Amino acid sequence: MREDKGDFIAKLRQIEEQANLANADLAPGLLRSRLQHMAVLAKTLRGRLEAAGVAIVRVEPGAPSAGEREKPPL
């Protein structure tokens, strides 16, 4: 499943890049607005998927960090 998610994120990045490239070549108008919308939408969806892989955990004040826990005591 992770591989599918990575592929989807890569496709969204490609959509965003292609829309931005095509947008640069167009004069202002409806088509340019739609391409801008596609680029923003792809970027937003990609950001949500990438952020979904980040875990948010609560850490008590004074608790050792993950790196400190791995070190053996002196």
DSSP string, 38-72: HHHHHHHHHHHHHHHT-------TTPPPHHHHHSP
pLDDT at 65 over 90: no
pLDDT at 24 over 60: yes
pLDDT at 57 over 60: yes
Residue 13 CA to residue 56 CA, distance in Å, equals 25
Residue 13 CA to residue 10 CA, distance in Å, equals 5
Mean residue pLDDT of the chain comes to 83
pLDDT in the model for residue 14: 96
pLDDT in the model for residue 3: 82
Taking CA 12 as the corner, what is the angle to CA 10 and CA 18, rounded to the nearest 5 degrees? 105
* pTM of this structure: 0.63
